[in-house]
Amino acid sequence: MGLRDILQNDVQKTPSMTQPSLYAGRPEPSTEAATNANLIENMQVRMRERLLKKIDVTKLEQAGYGALIDEITKVLDEIIDEDHLLLTGADRSRLIESTTNEMLGLGPLEPLLKDDEISDILVNGYNEVWIERHGRLHRTDIRFQNEKHLMAVINRIVSRVGRRIDESSPMVDARLPDGSRVNAVIPPLALDGAGLCIRRFGGHRFRMDDLIRINTLTPEMGEFLRLAILTRLNILISGGTGSGKTSLLNCLSSNIPNDQRIVTIEDAAELALQQPHVFRLETRPPNIEGKGEVTQRDLFRNTLRMRPDRIIVGEVRGAEVLDMLQAMSTGHDGSLATIHANSPRDSLTRLEMMMLLSGLNLPEKAMRQYVATAINLIVHLARLSDGSRKITRITEITGMEGDTVLTQDLFEFARTGVNPVGKVMGSFRATGTRSMYTDRIEAAGFKLDSTLFEQPKAAEV
């Protein structure tokens, strides 16, 4: 779908409105603000219709979106001057910005995407928009004009990444150009109107120093994880929704040497690796006839033929886990993946459940041996009640005893309570257990501080 088709669809889906008089008289002071707001809103439809007639979208698409924004601003100024609108400078700027947002961006959500402190944007129907800032949810006064307006924005998002959403396929995962993850659900599944969730990755890109500064982990934990990456240990990052798994994965991957080839596998591409040699793969849903689907398992099998030094799986979800574990244990060490789980032990249980989805009738012990052989470390994250995100466990897998996978905790966050303003109190501490991979780290040429695992190492936060 080209840009002209997207813009034309938006105009057709926007309801017609009765236009207020824009020329005769100024409104009463008590209603001026409300009338101006309606003026701006109602003018957008007329502006977009006239812009489609004035702008040669095909040529501007070739020039890029920057040129298109410049041309939109120019045409809008001409229309305002032609109609002799009684608009203040602020109203003029607001009209240009809002119309540009409607045609090129996400309409009323566009200002939220420019705020780097917002981590989630949650739309519960056209008239209810929430945001998460610093781990706390807040309701905003932003709203869409109606359900059709919200649907136009949703269709614009999914069409740009070659996906679709309709009654036959009422759920979709997509992404924004900045890498932010998008999930949309529409009726009949959404009972109270369409819903849109945007997990933002387009703002501040966290580095390990940033995570240490905001007390997600300690410098000692960060140093151990850095050496684990350099030593090519296989790491599984576990945690609940919104706990920071992707942010931590991006941070850890920054330690991968630049001379190594990295292949990433994701449902909706959101990783932002900084290395020069990265090849990104993304799944594809079935088309309207139910054909053409490409799953993570399909991508993983193909990845093994692409000579990867490291394989990074954005999120392990199903049958691809068996192929991933086989690769990790047969030469593709140094791989990373994330998984939804409530604890390190729970993540092992979930891996077993996903292996059952592969269709192979494996004995329970064989599945656990796969896990114990393939994965070296589990890093567990949690979002606490005060909105903070912390690594609550760094756990290593030490082997098998009978039918049980053996693990030991190296670092943990010990919660001690909540202060009067709701902040979670506690401390990071080493458990006193020395990592079984110490010799492997040192054999790779890295020096590991002998006091790193001593129990007195603690930091009150």
Per-residue pLDDT tens digits for 218-228 = 999 999 999 99
- Intervals of the chain under pLDDT 50: 1-4, 6-7, 11-31
Are domains 110-199 and 208-460 of this chain identical in fold?
no
Whether 311 and 332 have beta carbons less than 8 Å apart is answered as yes
b/e per residue 215-228 (b: at least 16 CB within 10 A): bbbbebbbbbbbbb
Q: Kindly report the pTM of this predicted structure.
A: 0.74
Amino acid at site 297 = R
b/e per residue 107-134 (b: at least 16 CB within 10 A): bbbbebbeeeebbbbbbbbbebbebbee
Amino acid at site 60 = L
Crossing angle of helices 32-54/89-104, nearest 10°? 50
Selection from 346, 341, 345, 273 nearest residue 311 by Cα: 273
Selection from 295, 335, 343 nearest residue 318 by Cα: 295
What pLDDT is stored for residue 21 in this prediction? 35
Q: Most distant CA pair in the chain: distance in Å?
A: 87
For residue 324, give the H/E element and its range. helix 320-328
Q: What is the CB neighbour count within 10 angstroms for residue 90?
A: 9
What pLDDT is stored for residue 7 in this prediction? 46
What pLDDT is stored for residue 24 in this prediction? 35
Between the alpha carbon of residue 198 and those of residues 109, 121, 128, 323, the distances in Å are 10, 5, 14, 30
Whether 211 and 217 have beta carbons less than 8 Å apart is answered as yes
The yes/no answer on whether domain 110-199 falls in CATH 3.30.450.370 is yes
354-389 tens-digit pLDDT = 888 877 788 889 899 989 999 999 999 999 988 889
Question: Under CATH, domain 208-460 is a member of which superfamily?
Answer: P-loop containing nucleotide triphosphate hydrolases (3.40.50.300)
318 Cα distance to chain centroid: 19
Q: Where are the domains of the chain?
A: 3-104, 110-199, 208-460
What pLDDT is stored for residue 16 in this prediction? 37
What pLDDT is stored for residue 359 in this prediction? 77
Crossing angle of helices 344-356/320-328, nearest 10°? 120
Whether 297 and 267 have beta carbons less than 8 Å apart is answered as no
Percentage of the chain lying above the pLDDT 90 cut: 37
Selection from 68, 69, 46, 73 nearest residue 58 by Cα: 68
What pLDDT is stored for residue 45 in this prediction? 67
What pLDDT is stored for residue 56 in this prediction? 65
438-458 tens-digit pLDDT = 999 999 999 888 788 887 555
Whether 396 and 408 have beta carbons less than 8 Å apart is answered as yes
Checking 169-174 for CB contacts under 8 A at 24+ apart, the result is 169/285, 169/288, 172/285, 173/267, 173/268, 174/268
What pLDDT is stored for residue 13 in this prediction? 46
Nearest-angstrom CA–CA distance, 262 and 207: 19
Between the alpha carbon of residue 162 and those of residues 145, 166, 433, the distances in Å are 26, 14, 50
